Amino acid sequence: MENCVFCKVVHGELPSTKVYEDEHFLAFLDIRPQAPGHTLVIPKEHYRWVWDLPAGRQVSPNLGDYFEVVGTIARALQKAFGVEMVLSKIIGEEVPHAHIWLFPDPAHTQGDKMDFATNAEKIRSSLS
């Protein structure tokens, strides 16, 4: 979509602090974080709502693949920030592109939420 902020991130027209990327999905740090490591997980292809992704395994990307990536990122956040609870939100009002918020429990997460480089490296290191 031409004027979509997240499509511009996908195409490199706007900067982002990436923590994960594959053929179909991208995860990057939110520029207005709720906690250190607040990550947005999006499909690279434009879908307005999360539930607009195809549900069947015959097509890729699909909703199941999306949630597998979300789970991978959530587990990396647990490990990176030493927390059990990772909050998730599917809202979709602020940017008209499917996205899921993931962020460690703000009450139990240490670190500077605006230190994007350090937080991204913690997450990337926890993915392996």
* Secondary structure of the chain as H, E, C letters: CCCCHHHHHHCCCCCCCEEEECCCEEEEECCCCCCCCCEEEEECCCCCCHHHCCCCCCCCCCHHHHHHHHHHHHHHHHHHHCCCCEEEECCCCCCCCCCEEEEECHHHCCCCCCCHHHHHHHHHHHCC
**Is 99 among the residues known to form the active site?**
yes
Q: Which of 11, 97, 99, 108 is catalytic?
A: 99
Catalytic residues: 99
